């Protein structure tokens, strides 16, 4: 891969996305072994810099780095110099002086990872910036879809809920049309806005309108912490109009895939029987997250495309 950073799918090509997914599929087997480790990134330093709380994403990147034998260093905003008023650029200059190979960053400001990527020689992996992108999550979504559907070309993906505040949704809105998928959006008017429509992306608002056509239904998390007052009525009302329960799911295609980026508000976006039901691939998404992050670290830090072949080739 030519690029040194993964900032978002907005400026990624279909070829790059394909390479990442192919590589991730090859790395998947490492996590299935008894000794879950390859020496690929031994002696490389990867910093996880989370300026917003996170468990699953931080852990997933951390697991990925360790399975590639990299040294990982973490810091979070709560214990950092940012509390002493340091700017992000000064924090980054200090990290730079410690000679990292890559930095995984989550930051409340959209564009923060892009600023660092331009300024510094190391790789930047965007783990979520403001309400902009969260590309590794969209890539693991695509890997999960590809596992079940084969090619994504011509497939229909419904994204339901708070599209406006979701960086995962935004990354999927950029990425899915590039690989030939059609995206249908549904959600309250405050969260699904007309300007989101573009070639390959249609706005429908009503969940029931998107269900019949979808190969994949991606339910988004209601992020109460990001909602201005008045943007949403009660959870109960939300569940009634936009939540996915078994009754609603019956109107979808029998082979539809149900996805969610987690953590789930059970009973709001999705009823428990759907979350844990046989159409749900939510936990496959998490497993694929480790593989996609291994692939990103491998490729961004200069790894050659792996030859086609069995998963085991990733061990070399």
State the catalytic residues: 56-57, 84, 106, 134
Site for its own copies in 161-220 (CB under 8 A): none
What length is written for the chain? 316
Please give the backbone phi and psi of residue 41, each rounded to the nearest 5 degrees, phi first.
Answer: -110, 30
Interface with its own copies, residue 132, by CB under 8 A: no
Cβ at position 183, least distance to its own copies in Å: 25
If DSSP codes are grouped into helix, strand and coil, which group holds residue 250? coil
Question: For its own copies, which is the closer residue by CB, 263 or 309?
Answer: 263
Is-contact 160 252, C-beta < 8 A? Answer: no
How large is the C-alpha radius of gyration of the chain? 19
Strands 156-160 and 201-205: unpaired
Q: Which of 300, 297, 301, 221 is nearest to 27 (CA)?
A: 297
How far is it between the farthest Cα atoms of the chain? 57
Question: For its own copies, which is the closer residue by CB, 67 or 178?
Answer: 67
Question: Binding residue for its own copies (CB under 8 A) from 3, 16, 22, 80?
Answer: 80
Is-contact 119 146, C-beta < 8 A? Answer: no
Site for its own copies in 248-277 (CB under 8 A): 262-266
Interface with its own copies, residue 303, by CB under 8 A: no
Question: Binding residue for its own copies (CB under 8 A) from 22, 71, 213, 311?
Answer: 71
How far is 216 from 80, CA to CA, in rounded Å?
40
Interface with its own copies, residue 286, by CB under 8 A: yes
Size of the site for its own copies (CB under 8 A): 59
Interface with its own copies, residue 240, by CB under 8 A: no
Q: With residue 22 as reference, give the H or E element that holds it.
A: helix 14-27
Question: For its own copies, which is the closer residue by CB, 165 or 178?
Answer: 165
Cβ at position 290, least distance to its own copies in Å: 5
Q: Is 199 exposed, middle or buried (0-12, 13-18, 19+ CB in 10 A)?
A: exposed
Interface with its own copies, residue 230, by CB under 8 A: no
Question: Binding residue for its own copies (CB under 8 A) from 159, 249, 290, 294?
Answer: 290
Site for its own copies in 31-60 (CB under 8 A): 31-37, 42-45, 47, 53-56, 58-60
Interface with its own copies, residue 90, by CB under 8 A: yes
């Amino acid at each position: 891969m030519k690029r040194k950073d993964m900032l978002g799918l907005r400026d990624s090509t279909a070829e790059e996305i394909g390479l990442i997914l192919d590589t991730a599929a090859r790395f998947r087997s490492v996590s299935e072994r008894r000794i879950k480790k390859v020496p690929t990134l031994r002696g490389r330093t990867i910093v996880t810099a989370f300026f917003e709380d996170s468990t699953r994403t931080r852990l997933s990147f951390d697991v990925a780095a360790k399975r590639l034998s990299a040294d990982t260093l973490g810091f979070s905003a709560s214990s950092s110099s940012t509390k002493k008023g340091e700017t992000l650029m000064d924090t980054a200059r200090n990290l730079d002086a410690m000679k990292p190979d890559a930095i995984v960053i989550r930051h409340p400001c959209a564009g923060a990872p892009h600023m660092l990527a331009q300024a510094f020689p190391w790789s930047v992996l965007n783990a979520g910036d403001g309400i902009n992108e969260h590309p590794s999550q969209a890539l693991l979504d695509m890997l999960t879809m590809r596992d079940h559907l084969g090619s994504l070309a011509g497939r229909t993906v419904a994204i339901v809920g708070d599209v406006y505040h979701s960086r995962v949704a935004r990354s999927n809105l950029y990425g899915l049309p590039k690989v030939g998928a059609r995206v249908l959006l549904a959600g309250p008017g405050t969260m699904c806005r007309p300007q989101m429509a573009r070639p390959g992306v249609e706005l429908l608002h009503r969940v029931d309108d998107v269900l019949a056509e979808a190969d994949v239904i991606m339910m988004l998390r209601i992020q109460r912490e990001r909602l201005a007052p008045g943007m949403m009525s009660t959870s109960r009302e939300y569940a009634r109009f936009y939540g996915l329960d078994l009754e609603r799911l019956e109107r979808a295609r029998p082979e539809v895939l149900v996805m969610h980026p987690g953590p789930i508000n059970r009973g709001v976006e999705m009823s428990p029987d759907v979350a844990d039901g046989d159409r749900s691939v939510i936990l496959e998404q998490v497993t694929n997250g480790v593989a996609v992050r291994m692939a990103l670290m491998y490729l961004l830090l200069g790894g050659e495309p792996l030859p086609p072949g069995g998963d085991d080739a990733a061990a070399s």
